Homo-oligomer: A and B are copies of this chain.
Amino acid sequence: MNKTAIGIDFGGTSVKPGVVRDGKIIEYAERIPTRHHANAESLLGAVVRAVEELRAKHPGVCALGAGLPGIVDSVNGRVSVLTNVPGWVDVGLTDLLEERTGLPATIDNDANAATYAEWLFGAGRDALNVVMVTLGTGVGGGLILDGQLYRGSQLGAGEIGQMTIDPHGLPGHYGNFGALEKYVGNNQIAQRAQALYRESGLTKSEEECSPLALEQLANSGDAVAREVWEEVGFHLGATLCDVVWLLNPDRIVIGGGVAKAGEYVFGPIRKTIAERTMKIFHEKLEIVPAVLGNDAGIIGSAALGLLKTAVA
């Protein structure tokens, strides 16, 4: 697949287009801040202009892909809602992109795009069945099953953050209780760390308890930070045990801020899964950090655009 494509990562605050070749971003366009655009039409205009500028420099571009947050109807190419863009109501994005750029286009959920990128070019490479978990304010995920992106019947699959640790636990957003996201989301981690520091007589701001700060604290030997990561790793591991029993994957890829804590969090994840599953389920299972970082959305979207031209 040594073709060139453009990937567009629609985030909550900005849209990031880039040119991708061989799984690498060879040129980034300037970020397009969503809040500068009062409606979908204005934002789309800016996106199409950025695409045209990139194509002028890279005439070999032969496909376009976009990754967006939330439920994306990748079959019909429609996106019902886009965060921070009030005029965005059920936009037929694939058709609009194809009409205005003349390129074959495809759209997908951003977690699916990132999963596809990590599988093709990153930490999931050469695995048959990959479970991707993305950790941030929310907890998302994506699945590669039998060498294909698995989307589910309403294209909603992979919501690992809504899986339940404890059916009598903290209430979640969707009537669920004890959802993983309520234990390992960035805010929950910060609150838990603040509470533990308070117990040992220390007052820390939420910023001082960000994943990055807690990673540095853990590295410098801070016992509270290490305890927080141990708990986060146990909660992730316990939920992933269910995923492992159900799907028997050969690779679990963990991305996002929390994954930066390295062995402080990967150690307890691996230990929990090894202790709580049958040997054949964990002895060859690799649990690794994502490697593409914030580029995964652009790279995966571009690759899905190319996949569509290959399949069509």
- Footprint of B on A, CB under 8 Å? 71, 127-129, 141, 143, 145-146, 148, 150-160, 162-168, 174-177, 238, 241-243, 245-250, 275-278, 280-281, 284-285
Contacts and interface: CB of A to CB of B under 8 A. Distances in A.
A141 B71 CA distance: 28
Given A128-B153, A153-B250, A156-B248, 5 more contacts: A129-B152, A129-B153, A159-B246, A163-B245, A166-B167
A221 to B, nearest CB: 29
A245 B284 contact: no
A28 to B, nearest CB: 33
Contact of A155 (B174, B243, B248, B249): B248
Contacts of A159: 245-246, 248, 281
28 contacts: A127-B153, A129-B152, A141-B246, A145-B145, A145-B150, A150-B247, A153-B248, A153-B249, A153-B284, A154-B284, A156-B248, A156-B278, A159-B245, A159-B248, A160-B246, A162-B277, A162-B278, A163-B245, A163-B246, A164-B238, A164-B241, A166-B166, A166-B168, A174-B277, A174-B278, A175-B275, A177-B276, A246-B246
A154 B243 CA distance: 14
B248 A152 contact: yes
Nearest to A176: B276
Contact of A150 (B146, B153, B157, B164): B146
A242 B163 contact: yes
Contact of A157 (B152, B242, B248): B248
B246 A277 contact: no
Contacts of A277: 162, 174-176
A247 B157 contact: yes
A210 to B, nearest CB: 27
A105 B174 CA distance: 47
Contacts of A157: 246-248
B150 A245 contact: no
Contacts of A160: 245-246
Nearest to A250: B153
Contacts of A163: 241-242, 245-246
- Of A129, A141, A143, A153, the most chain B CB neighbours within 10 A belong to A153
A173 to B, nearest CB: 8
Nearest to A281: B156
Contacts of A284: 153-154
Contacts of A146: 145, 148, 150
Contacts of A175: 275-277
